[in-house]
Structure 1
Amino acid sequence: MTITEVLQFVDRIVEKQTGEHLDDLHKTVIQGLWQGKTYNQIADESGYDKNYVGDVSRKLFKILSEQLNEDINKYNFCWTLERVINSQFVGLVNTKINWCPFHPQPDANPPINQEEKTTKKTRYQDLTLAPKITHFYDRTPQLQTLSHWITTQNPRLISILGLSGIGKTTLVKQFIDSNLQQFDLIIWKSIKLSPSLDNIITDIFTLINYEPIQTENKLTQLLNLLRQQRCLIILDDVQELFTSGQFAGQYKTETKNYKTFLSKITELEHQSTVILISQEQCQEMTCLDEELYPVKCLELPGLDDTEILKALGLKDEESWSKLIELYEGNPAYLKDIANLIKIIFFGKADEFVREETLHLTEDMKFRFNELFERLTPVEQQILLELSKFNQPTSREELRQSLSLSSTDLINGLLSLNQRYLLKKIEGEEILFNLSPIFREYVINYGYLASIML
């Protein structure tokens, strides 16, 4: 289906409710959404403010949702129109709608037996441990990347990585909410709550009411299921598989069967995907080349979007960018500090910024304490030394100021990088630095945390 036909369809829906046709901005927004563009990109091309483009889009979504009896938003816009037009509204346009950008082209003439198989197939879902999304801030590029990988490249193993609170879990749940129909089975497990792989496999087969599982070859049965059906398995809090006090990605004795499982996932042919959500990279990801193996890694940066602060009800919009810079665009940090500003500064962000104090809330300190307690003594020494420098520091400078062997220093830097606690600056030589907020923690609490371990 061409974009002209899409515009004609939406125009009819809008006219039915409002009595008015689409204007030029409406058309630009619809075309941009159909092409997978962000509000920022649409705003740049149209010359309008990004927030205004967002307001216009949300009004369109509201009209379409009411008229089509669907919950439509910018993340499921293409999918929903494609499904609705092909099922309920065939005849309003000349041709069937094509699948929208970042999604695979369906087979135009599937064999009859395949059609019957598709219509009869039962789908199973266990999302009881997945979070409910109340707000989803602009992660459009990452969401499109994840969608593109899964729908067109079928990677068997995907890691979603980044610091605590950065939005890893929310991103994956947002993808699932918009793509439930792609999978025969979706199961979400938290390693923090359910660390046993045997129990997870048992839960999967209990969910689908499969033949009784044989206790001696559970992993083989699971791998067979991944070949027979298209499954999506999400493992959250994967860092809990790894041992505290050792370099990143070292499995606990009782969780080493996950290493076998993840290795088999990448080696064997099947049609399913396992998503790992973690604050640490596992060795299965760091040692495999994405060009040669069906694995993908998505590292989440902080948000650079003031919408999150607007939604939290702060005043003084001119100070929001500074807040985002200070707190690295981490949604969890920004929510904490916004609540503090609302209580102590009556929501006036400008007054807080003028204090020129990088305040750590109790929740931030708790998160950093958890991270710091997982580190080796070598990593703690490196962080404490880095916190003394007011500028990015080279490996040679660190070596001269620390009583560490070259091997320990290199391994420590590598492990800290895999935990997303270092900032690397590449130039003639690689320099290392800490983010302002984590530096503040290390300076004020890091030493106390290290002597209490």
Structure 2
Amino acid sequence: MTAQEAIALIDILLQSANKKQKLNDIQSLVFLETWEGHSYQEIADRLLYEHDYIKQVGSHLWQKLSKIIGEQVSKHNLQAVLRRYQHRSAAHNCIQDWGEAIDVSQFYNRLQELQTLETWISSNSTRAIGIFGLGGIGKSSLSVKLAQQIQSQFEFVIYRSLQQAPTLDVILSNILPILTNSSATTNNSISSLMEQLRQKRCLLIFDNLESILQAGICSGQYQPGYEDYGLLFGRIADESHHSCLILTGREQPGGFAVRSGENLPVRSLKLSGLSPPVCQQILADKGLKATLLQSRDIVNYFGGNPLAIKIAATTIQTLFGGDIQAFLLQGNTVFSDLWDLLDRQFDRLSPLQQQIMYWLALNQDAATPARLKAEILPKVAGRPLMEALEALAERSLIEDRRSLNENAPTTLMLQPAIVEYIIERLIQTAI
């Protein structure tokens, strides 16, 4: 907010209390000088008035504003109070439809990610953002929390889950009446939505993107009948407007990675696991008192996945009587709920991708791409293998050890919990 914008807001506030009331010349001068951080004595000297008179003008104005705003206003907090009022007013005027958005009243950290995302959106040049990562890593929670914090920057905030795989026609027929404020909308086309995104500043959040993507060898491919989502995402990314689309999913849709970049209007954030102190807080909220060392061990095992940590906490309580150390010592910790989560991810993989996962689980000490190629596809060109590895990385199932240590050799790795899951699955298959 600039000083002139603040003066315009003050006039509106004063006229809201009394239509004939607005800042006079001396009040405007005192306000502007105070806004710039000058003391009453400095203002008096600059305007050639007595100190007591300037103080009286200022105090009287702050008292009026305090009554109108409902918050104590002084020369020291003037900017902060007016900015808060502006944000509250904007949020109040913002039309919101949260659909199936989850409750984020219990939100754990992610302050750095929130700051990064807010910076991207506040620039007004970012048209699309992707938040990607393993199932349970916290993508949905982060997108909802972000939308709540930045809603004052938008005229509309609309959140939709794609978990039940609605067609784009269903989504458009649901969203466009909100944006047009009319139930008579008949043209539910991508072009109609783009026109609304150009006319208004809108924040759209589409969660659970993987529900409309194909399983199999190539990640990011749309299921038959859902290709028009790709057309919509491409137009939002490529065409000029002041709105923003946020996508969350376990993998990027086709064409998204090509369009994204550090200085481009499309940005991508791969969500990593939580830190040991945050894990410690999650366990505390579940009624478990963990040391930082125990929290670190749990984070390392589950890759800092908040859903897996919560599932582990329940298991510690029900099967181990709250004894965290006993849980850590018992070894095999891929229990039913976590198994189901990993099952859903594993079943989406192609036979080659599953074969790679099995091989990596059994060869963690020397899992280089060259050795993988030699043992799995020795007589086949490297392209299918590279495509499969790329798809697994896109789905956050494998990572290069150098992501943890830049001096480490190029070695592919799995999280310990995934290794145990894969080995247990192999045993069950053999049986």
The answer to whether the superposition gives a TM-score over 0.5 is: yes
For residue 319 of structure 1, give the secondary structure of its aligned residue in structure 2.
helix
Aligned to 2:394: 418
2:301 partner amino acid:
L
The one-character-per-residue Cα deviations of 1:199-218 (angstroms, maximum 9, x if unpaired) are 11111122342373233x61
CA drift at 1:248: 0.6
Decide whether the 8 Å contact of 1:379 with 1:412 is kept in 2. yes
1:369 and 2:357 aligned: no
Question: What do you get for the CA RMSD once the two structures are aligned?
Answer: 2.9
Which residue among 403, 412, 419 is the counterpart of 1:432?
412
In structure 2, do the counterparts of structure 1 residues 194 and 184 end up closer, same or farther at CA, with 3 Å as the change threshold?
Answer: farther
Deviations 1:337-379 (A, max 9, x none): 1111111222121222232x13112111111111111111111
Aligned to 1:213: 185
- Structure 1's consecutive aligned runs of 4 or more residues displaced over 4 angstroms after TM superposition are 446-449
Corresponding residue of 2:217: 246
CA 1:223 to 1:337, structure 2 compared with 1: closer, same or farther past 3 Å?
Answer: same
1:185 is aligned to: 156
**Distance change in 2, residues 1:291/1:132 (3 Å):** closer
Opposite residue 212 of structure 1, the aligned amino acid is A
Question: Which amino acid counterpart does residue 284 of structure 2 have in structure 1?
Answer: K
Q: Tell me if the contact between 1:143 and 1:175 (Cα under 8 Å) persists in the aligned partners.
A: yes
Deviations along 1:219-257, one digit per CA (max 9) or x if unpaired, are 111000001111111111101121122311011121100
| 1:281 maps to 2:252 | yes
Identity %: 27
Cα deviation for residue 443 of structure 1 reads: 1.1
Q: Quote the residue 1:326 is aligned against.
A: 301
How big is the shift at 1:447? 7.4
Q: What letter corresponds to residue 166 of structure 2 in structure 1? A: P
Q: Judging changes above 3 Å, is the alpha-carbon distance between structure 1 residues 194 and 407 closer, same or farther for their aligned structure 2 residues?
A: closer
Alignment map for 1:28-43 (pairs within 5 Å): none
2:115 aligned residue: 144
AA partner of residue 91 (structure 1): V
SS in 1 for 2:259: coil
Higher radius of gyration, 1 or 2? 2
The answer as to 2:126 corresponding to 1:161 is no
Give, as a single letter, the amino acid of the residue that structure 2 aligns with 1:353.
L
TM-score normalised over the length of structure 2: 0.75
Unaligned runs of 5+ in 2: 2-65
Call closer, same or farther: CA 1:182–1:292 in 2, change over 3 Å: closer
Counting only pairs closer than 5 Å after superposition, residues 46-445 of structure 1 correspond to structure 2 as: 87-89=69-71, 91-94=73-76, 96-97=78-79, 123-208=94-179, 209-210=181-182, 212-215=184-187, 218-291=189-262, 293-304=264-275, 305=278, 306-317=280-291, 318-355=293-330, 357-403=331-377, 404-426=380-402, 427=407, 430-445=410-425
CA distance in 1 between counterparts of 2:148 and 2:169 reads: 27
| Unpaired stretches in structure 1, ≥5 consecutive residues | 2-83, 107-117
Contact kept, 8 Å, 1:165 with 1:333, in 2: the verdict is: yes
Deviations 1:43-93 (A, max 9, x none): xxxxxxxxxxxxxxxxxxxxxxxxxxxxxxxxxxxxxxxxx9994336323
Report the Cα distance in structure 2 between the residues aligned to 1:352 and 1:263, rounded to whole angstroms.
Answer: 47
Question: Are the equivalent residues in 2 in contact too, given 1:190–1:237 (CA < 8 A)?
Answer: yes
- Identify if the C-alpha distance between structure 1 residues 289 and 277 changes in structure 2 by more than 3 Å, giving closer, same or farther: closer
Secondary structure of residue in 1 paired with 2:210: helix
Measured in 2, the distance between the counterparts of 1:126 and 1:430 equals 46
Matched residues in 2 for 1:289 and 1:205: separation? 27
Residues 154-188 of structure 1, C-alpha deviations (whole Å, 9 max, x = no match) = 41110011111111111111122223222111111
Aligned residues: 352
Q: Quick check: 1:249–1:281 contact (8 Å CA) kept in 2?
A: yes
